Amino acid sequence: MNISTYTVKPKLPVPLKPLEEIARNLWLSWNFDAVMLFIRLDYDLWLKSQQNPARMLGMVSQERLEKMAEDDSYLAALKDVYDRFQHYKKRDTWYKGSRKDMIAYFSMEYGMDVSLPIYSGGLGILSGDHMKTSSDLGLPLVGVGLLYRQGYFKQYLNGDGFQQESYPENDWYNMPVERKLDKQGKPIKITVETGDRIVVAQIWEVKVGRSSLFLLDTNIEENAPDLRDITASLYGGDRETRIRQEIVLGIGGIRALRALGINPAVTHMNEGHSAFLGLERIRELMHDQHLSFEEARQALWPTNVFTTHTPVPAGNERFGIDLMEKYFRPWAQELGLPWKEFLALGRENPDDDREPFCMTILALKLAAYCNGVARLHGKVSREMWKNIWPGLPIHEVPIGHVTNGVHPRTWVSNNMVELLDRYFGPHFEEEPTDLNIWNRMERISDEELWRTHERRRERLVAFARDRIRRQLQRNGATESRIQQAEDALSPYTLTIAFARRFATYKRANLLLRDPERLLKLLRDSERPIQLIFAGKAHPHDMPGKDLIREIIHFAEKYDVVSKIVFLEDYDMTMAKYMTSGADLWLNTPRRPLEASGTSGMKAAMNGVLNCSILDGWWDEAYKPEIGWAIGQGEQYEDTNLQDEIESKALYDLLEREIIPLFYTRGRDGLPREWIRRMKTCMKEIGQSMSCHRMLMDYSNKYYFPALKNYKRLVKDNYQESKALAAYLQKLRNAWHELSVLKVESNARPVMQRGDLVTVNACVRLGSLAPEELCVELYYGSISNFGDIEHAQRAEMKPIAQEGDCYKFQVKITCESTGHQGHTVRILPKHEGLVHPYVPGLIKWA
C-alpha cells in the first residue's frame, strides 16, 4: 500500500493568528497568562487535548474561533501576552557574547511540559529546566535528544493496588514540535551506522523561548521495522535497542547539528547515555584536520563537559563486550585504535578483558570538566570513580559539583507567582539572574502568603479527590466507596506529600513502620495530619511495585482511606499541584543514594517546608530555620536498624515539632511561626536553588572556559593539541624512568609556627627535562591513619643538576600546628592541560 501523507493545520481568523506561535513555543509552559488564553478559548477542549495547545487549536470549532476573534477583552488579553512574548525574545539577557559557537546539551529525556511526554523523572525535569533557563539567560545553547513514538509509560493501579502500565502513542503532528525541512521543503535527514546497517533519522525542533531543542526520530519509512523502533520508547527496549538509542543520540546528534548548520563547539553530556558523541567529534576532527586519534582527543577534551546524575551503581550504563563488538569494531578501526585500547576508553582497569564497557567512564575520560549534581554527590562520585585515576588522592579526583536547581516560573504556582510579582516588582521577571530580589520576601504580609498557600492546598485536595474518584470508577468500586472519595482529605489539615519514583532505597513506607504511632497522628481530632503519595515504579521493579501496594493496603486495613491516598500517574501537572499545595515535603532516601533531588526545591520555592534525610541537595541547604532534618547524615550498614532509627526520628519530629508548629495559631488563625519559616525558606531556596544560579555556575565554571579553549585551539590550527598529544606520549614512554630518590628537609622534630622549612628532593628525570614536569611538595597535617589531610601543594624549583638527577627545592612556612608531614610527587605540566590529572601519570616519592 502506498499512502501519501500531508499535514492539515487549523484555520485561525486573522486576529487570533498569534495563538499559533504561542501554542508552538514552550515559553507558554512557564507563563500562566498564555495558558489562560487557551483555557478561555474552551476549557473542556483544553482538558481533552491533555493541556496541549497545539492539538487543541485543531479541535476548536470554527464557530467558536470566529466568536472569540470578535471578543474585545479576549483580543486585549491575547495582545498583552503576545507583546510580552515578543519582548521576552528581544530583551537584554545575562549572556551578551557571540552566538557563533554553540554549547550543545545532550540528554536522553526532557521534561518541559505535560504536552510533550518525553521524560520519566528527575533527569528529564532537570534537562527541561536547563533549556528554559538557558533561554532566559540568552545562552548560545541548543538541546539534543530523541523523539519517542511513545513516551514513558502511564501508570494505573488495579483493584488490588498493583501497578499496571500503558503506553499511549504520541501524535507528533499535533504537538509543539516542528519537523526541520530543507530549502525544498523536504525533511532534513541524517544517517548513522549501527553495526552493519545504516539508520536514517529525521529531526524535529521544539522551541523553548529563544532556545531550541532538536529531537531525532528514526520512525520513518526508510528504516526497517527494528530500526524504526530505536526511538519507540523511553527506557523501554532491551540492551540492543539501548545501545542503538545511544548511538543515535550521541553520534546522530552531532550529525544532526551539522546538518542544521550548527557548530557544537562545546558539548555537555548528561549521564553517560550520550557519551558516544565524544567519539564522533574525534572522528570528525581526525578526518577534517588530519589529526591522529590522540591529537583529536586532546583537542576535544577541553571542550567536553560531563555531568553524572546518579550515585546508584546500576544507574550507570554498561554494555557487554559482545554488543560493543557488534557496533564498535568498525569504529575502533576508523579511529585507528587497537580493539583493546578502544575498550579501555570505557574501562576502569584497561587490562581486565572481562570488564564491560561503561558509558560513564567513557564520558569521564573524554571530558576535562566533570561534575556531580550536589556537594555530597560530588564527593560520592569522586569515591565511586577514583580508580580511573590510580594513585590520586580522593579529594583531587577531577569531579566537581554544580548543585541542581529548578526554574522558578515553571514550578512556583501561578497564585504564588502573582503574589511574588506584586511584591518583587517587574524586575523579578525581567532579570531572573538577580537573585537578591528574593530578599523582598520579608515584605510580603503574613496574611496574604498564608491565604495564597491555603488556596493551593484547597486546589490540591480538589485535584486529589477528582483523581481518586476516577481511579475508583475505573476499577468498578461501589457507589458508596466512590461517594467516600468525595470526602477524602481535608483542605484544612496538615498535608504531607511524598512523591517520587518508587525505588526501594527511597523508602516510601518509612512512615508506615509503626502503624500505631502513625494512626494516632492521622486520627487526632484536633491536630490531624494526612498523607498524599504518588510516583511510578520501574515496570520491572517488583519490590518498587510492592511498596505502592503496601501503602494502598495499609490505608484499607486500618480504614484510613480518606487520610492516606495514592494518586496514580505522577507527572508534571501532578507535581505542580503537590509541590505547591502540601504543607510538608517528605523525603526519606538512604543516604547517599539521592544524587540531588529537585522536587523538594520546587516545594521550598512554594513555601512548602521540607522534612528530609540529609542527602542530595538538602545536605547542603538544610538549616533549622527552613525545615527539618531526619538524623544527622549518618550512613548505616544495617538497613533494618537504619529504618528503625530513622522512622523513630521522623515520628519524633512530627509529634514534637512539626505538628505543634503548624497548629499553633494566633487569634487571627495564622500560624505565625510556620509562616516565618515559609518566608525564610522561599527566600533562601529561591536564591540558592534557582536554576538561574545553576546555569550561571555551569557557565562560569565550565561553559565559558570551554568555549575559550575551543576558540584558542581552532585559532592556532590545533598546534597546541598536537603538542599536547606528543608531550603526553613522551611522558607515557618515559614515565617508568622517573623516580624521586631522596627527600630531605631541615625540619626539626619540634618547630614553631612561622618557622621556615626548606625541602630538597632529588629526582631522576630520565629523558625528560625539569621544565616538562611539575615536581611538587604535598604537605599537611598527619591523620590518625598516617595520611596527609587537608593537603597543600607547593611547586618545587629545579636548582641544580647532579649527575643524572635534578635537585628540586621549595621553602614553606609552618602555618598549621600539630602533627605535620610532607611528601613529594610528580605530575604532568603543560599549558594545554585544563588540569594535571591524567590517568596513570602521577608518581609519589
Ligand X SMILES: *Cc1c(COP(=O)(O)O)cnc(C)c1O
DSSP helix/strand/coil, 70: coil
CB of 616 to ligand X, least distance (A): 8
CB of 152 to ligand X, least distance (A): 10
CA distance 293 to 338: 11
Strands of 756-764's sheet in order across:
739-745, 756-764, 805-813, 797-802
Rounded to 5°, the CA angle 676-677-680 comes to 90
Per-residue 3-state assignment (H helix, E strand, C coil) for 275-332: CHHHHHHHHHHHHHHCCCHHHHHHHHHHHEEEECCCCCHHHCCEECHHHHHHHHHHHH
CB of 253 to ligand X, least distance (A): 24
CB of 588 to ligand X, least distance (A): 12
CA distance 661 to 675: 10
Task: Give me 388's grid cell.
Answer: 580511573
CB of 409 to ligand X, least distance (A): 15
Closest C-alpha to 687, from 441, 493, 472? 441
Q: For strands 304-307 and 141-146, give the pairing.
A: unpaired
CB of 494 to ligand X, least distance (A): 21
Between 122 and 176, name the residue whose CB sits nearer to ligand X.
Answer: 122
What's CA 601's distance to the chain center, in Å? 13
**Total residues belonging to the chain:** 845
Between 562 and 598, name the residue whose CB sits nearer to ligand X.
Answer: 598
What's CA 162's distance to the chain center, in Å? 29
Between 223 and 410, name the residue whose CB sits nearer to ligand X.
Answer: 410
Q: Encode burial over 414-435: b for 16+ CB neighbours within 10 A, e otherwise.
A: bbbbebbeebbeeebbebbbeb
Between 303 and 495, name the residue whose CB sits nearer to ligand X.
Answer: 495
Q: What are phi and psi of 576, to 5 degrees?
A: -65, -45
CB of 489 to ligand X, least distance (A): 20
CB of 639 to ligand X, least distance (A): 20
> Would you say 615 and 589 are in contact if contact means Cβ atoms under 8 Å apart?
yes
Between 121 and 631, name the residue whose CB sits nearer to ligand X.
Answer: 121
CB of 108 to ligand X, least distance (A): 14
The H or E element containing residue 546 is helix 542-557
CB of 203 to ligand X, least distance (A): 26
Between 112 and 285, name the residue whose CB sits nearer to ligand X.
Answer: 112
Between 256 and 575, name the residue whose CB sits nearer to ligand X.
Answer: 575
Between 440 and 538, name the residue whose CB sits nearer to ligand X.
Answer: 538
Closest C-alpha to 511, from 521, 502, 524? 521
Between 598 and 699, name the residue whose CB sits nearer to ligand X.
Answer: 598
Task: Give me 546's grid cell.
Answer: 510492592
CA distance 574 to 121: 13
Per-residue 3-state assignment (H helix, E strand, C coil) for 344-404: HCCCCCCCCCCCCEEHHHHHHHHCCEEEECCHHHHHHHHHHHHHHCCCCCHHHCCCEECCC
Between 125 and 449, name the residue whose CB sits nearer to ligand X.
Answer: 125
> Would you say 96 and 74 are in contact if contact means Cβ atoms under 8 Å apart?
no
DSSP helix/strand/coil, 73: helix
CB of 497 to ligand X, least distance (A): 11
Between 299 and 575, name the residue whose CB sits nearer to ligand X.
Answer: 575
Between 600 and 627, name the residue whose CB sits nearer to ligand X.
Answer: 600
Find the helix packing angle between 321-335 and 239-247, rounded to 10°: 20
Between 578 and 675, name the residue whose CB sits nearer to ligand X.
Answer: 578
Between 219 and 688, name the residue whose CB sits nearer to ligand X.
Answer: 688
CB of 374 to ligand X, least distance (A): 11
Residue whose grid cell is 515553571? 410
Between 152 and 214, name the residue whose CB sits nearer to ligand X.
Answer: 152
For the chain, helix, strand, coil in percent to 5 are: 45, 20, 35
Residues in touch with ligand X (CB under 6 A): 121-122, 125, 500, 570-572, 575, 597-600, 602
> Would you say 182 and 190 are in contact if contact means Cβ atoms under 8 Å apart?
no
Q: Is the Cα dihedral 467, 468, 473, 476 positive or negative?
A: positive
Closest C-alpha to 586, from 532, 537, 623? 532
DSSP helix/strand/coil, 762: strand
The CA-based dihedral angle spanning residues 252, 253, 256, 262, taken in that order and rounded to the nearest 10 degrees: -150
Between 273 and 602, name the residue whose CB sits nearer to ligand X.
Answer: 602
Terminal-to-terminal C-alpha distance of the chain: 75
Closest C-alpha to 454, from 709, 704, 662? 662
CB of 564 to ligand X, least distance (A): 20
Between 372 and 705, name the residue whose CB sits nearer to ligand X.
Answer: 372
Between 121 and 250, name the residue whose CB sits nearer to ligand X.
Answer: 121
CB of 575 to ligand X, least distance (A): 3
- In the chain, the amino acid numbered 574 is M
The H or E element containing residue 59 is helix 53-59
How many Cα atoms within 13 Å fall on the side-chain side of residue 717?
2
CB of 171 to ligand X, least distance (A): 21
Rounded to 5°, the CA angle 343-345-347 comes to 75
Neighbours of 313 (CB within 10 A): 10
CB of 463 to ligand X, least distance (A): 14
**Cis omega (within 30 of 0) on the bond before 53?**
no
Closest C-alpha to 406, from 133, 156, 653? 133
CB of 595 to ligand X, least distance (A): 8
CB of 835 to ligand X, least distance (A): 30
